[in-house]
Chain A
Amino acid sequence: MDQFTLNMIFVGGSFALYIGIAIWARAGSTAEFYAAGQGVHPILNGMATAADWMSAASFISMAGLIATVGYGNSTFLMGWTGGYVLLALLLAPYLRKFGKFTVPQFIGDRFYSQKARMVAVVSLIIISVTYVIGQMTGAGVAFSRFLEVSSDTGLYIASTIVFIYAVLGGMKGITYTQVAQYCVLIIAYTIPAIFISLQLTGNPIPGLGLFSTHIESGLPLLTKLDQVVTELGFAQYTTLNSSMFNMFLFTLSLMIGTAGLPHVIIRFFTVPKVSDARWSAGWALVFIALLYLSAPAVGAMARLNVISTIYPQGTQADAVLYEERPDWMRNWEVTGLLKFEDLNGDGRIQFYNDKNEGFAATATERGWTGNEFTYNNDILVLANPEIAQLPGWVIALIAAGGLAAALSTAAGLLLAISSAISHDLIKSYLNPGISEKGELLAARISMAGAIVVATWLGLNPPGFAAQTVALAFGLAAATIFPSLMMGIFSKRINAWGATLGMLAGLVVTCAYLFTYLGMFFIPGTNLLEPVAANYLFGIPPASFGPIGALINFGVAYIVSMMTAPPPKDVQDLVESIRVPKGAGAASSH
């Protein structure tokens, strides 16, 4: 059976499964549409949260990002998991006790202010829309590569699938499809990882293989990797090649941003009890860790494999002849993700770091006139099964897994957007008299509208999709996280403090990013060049989240101290969310 047919079977089969679940798990009420009727088992919610959280970036890009930089990009591993500690200890149990459906609803009730609620709605929509663009384009690309359709057609297919199960099932449908999507993506990630680890180290557990002995050379794998990359002029893999300050701040930014992402937070509204919310955060991290403990191994091993493909006799010997390159390189060359240019005309593929001036002498001596081989980082995961010479069905599995990762995150984001519109904007502000049935219809229409907008943005990506993720994390850290935390841990923060604090976080973070990355990320409109010398106190735009959070905390505190404390009933509300007793079913009022 050829590869295309296998891909069709695996991807088509997984889609049939998702749609089957959607029909089985239709939402019949707003409680089911927004919070799956609060009947989701904590372990299942953990799985759904893991799929909700792990996007195309985690599945396809992260291992490649780590592989290219080595130790310095451990920031992604620590940052994207450490945020769950913040969620579990500081937010999830209390928000579940509060027992409503949306993040802006908590902010509106706790700070007894429609203004605060609206600022939260605006922040939520900016965060989730910027985040969803990347998921839709990711899904489109995955389709075009594995199913041989154009990426636009791929995007339409992806949107249609999400449309069916998200509009029909709401949170209930999304939850159970996310559980299925988690199973697909973790199997797809783990199988090639196990094989590659076995081939290189003999250890079937990739996370352990990373710290084991490289069979071929008899050296520890990481020592071998350090050796071959430095022999090609690249920086050492296991050392820090940037500043400790940047690494610290970026990790913190990812952690706080993760804990402030609305589509992750609302998953904790779906479990039956406060104690379930606590356990569920732990289960979510278990399921995330299954991928995150393998990812650094996949990255390191794939990089070593790429280098040994190009230098089959070792980095000191001649590179492989272009005509003798392996099949996987031929396959991926077609996609443009791999490029080869024979600069010195010797018919061989020289791959080395031609930016390293200290290495220039060695390169000249070996007759090299420039790096001849470039690859997109994503290839390290996408081509992994082919590099390890695994059967065709494993390649098809990677296709289904990448799509599962992108679609599950997109659906979670779309739900966060649609519930903010139908529940916080329409039900609470524009039309408070709307009936339960009317609100459910409004929720479905909002969802459909959000999908149309996301599809349009996916078809016409604003050319800066990678930059916008920094905005999503920065804003989540600067607006949602501090406001929720203050709402729970302080009885003194009042309506004015919270509203102005959020606004300050929102405005300053946007201003800082736009200054360096362009107004609304439009290239050429930046006021200052995005180079370290221009940054305020050396803070890169992508690491601004913690500063935005500090501004939010500071403004909220000062303004609250200068104005009257919250009324008695609000203080009682804070008392009540702090104890688990009495957590019943959620109510919409």
Chain B
Amino acid sequence: MADKSSSNAYWSANIRIIMTCMVIWFVASFGFGILLRPMLSGISVGGTDLGFWFAQQGSILVFLALIFFYAWRMNKLDAEHGVEE
């Protein structure tokens, strides 16, 4: 295992990335899809509004992007800290 300080830096960098992703996860689904929908009602998408689109499709696409971003970013972080497999 890498030394303690490097390992701590790796872990806190990971936590930061996770937190950022979780904020986006929350905003795209619970935010745009549910709570903020009334605020987005002015933006129309195919016969309805943006909030409806986020609830039925947009959130899923954002989830996909998040998971692939996380996998890519963490593989890079692993290499930077020399903890890759």
Residues of A within 8 A of B (CB): 66, 71, 74, 77-78, 81-82, 84-85, 88-90, 93, 207, 210-212, 219-224, 226, 238, 240, 244, 247-248, 251-252, 273-275, 278-279, 281-282, 285-286, 289, 292-293, 296, 575-576, 578-583
Please give the distance in Å from A536's CB to the nearest CB on chain B.
22
Q: How far apart are the CA atoms of A238 and B40 in the complex, in Å? A: 14
Pair B67/A88 contact, Cβ less than 8 Å: yes
A207–B22 alpha-carbon span in the complex (Å): 26
- Given A85-B25, A244-B34, A282–B47 Cβ distance below 8 Å? no
Q: Is the CB of B60 within 8 A of A85?
A: no
| Dominant secondary structure of chain B at its interface with chain A | helix
Contacts of A293 in B (CB 8 A): 57, 60
Q: Which of B35, B56, B84 gathers the greatest number of chain A CB atoms within 10 Å?
A: B56
A7 to B85, CA, bound (A): 48
Which residues does chain A contribute within 8 Å of B14, judged by CB atoms? 578
Measured between alpha carbons, how far is A85 from B47 in the docked complex, in Å?
29
Contact status B63-A244, CB under 8 Å: no
Asked whether, in the complex, the Cβ of B57 is within 8 Å of the Cβ of A275, the reply is: no
* CB contact between B52 and one of A71, A85, A219, A252 (< 8 Å): that residue: A71
CB-based contact B46/A222 at 8 Å: yes
Q: A88-B70, A286-B64 are in contact. Are A211 and B29 (CB under 8 A)?
A: no
What A residues does B60 contact at CB under 8 A?
A: 77-78, 81, 285, 289, 292-293
Q: How many residues of B contact A (CB 8 A)?
A: 43
Contact A78 B83 (CB under 8 A): no
Chain B hits for A211, CB < 8 A:
45-48, 53
Contact check, A221 vs B46: say whether CB atoms are below 8 A apart.
yes
Residue in A closest to B46 when the chains form the complex, CB atoms: A211
Q: Chain A residues near B39 (CB, 8 Å)?
A: none
A-B contact pairs, 24 of them (CB 8 A): A74-B33, A74-B55, A77-B56, A78-B33, A81-B59, A82-B25, A85-B21, A89-B22, A89-B70, A93-B74, A210-B46, A212-B46, A220-B47, A248-B35, A275-B78, A278-B70, A285-B60, A289-B61, A576-B1, A579-B7, A579-B10, A580-B85, A581-B85, A582-B1
Report how far A220 CA is from B33 CA in the complex, Å.
20
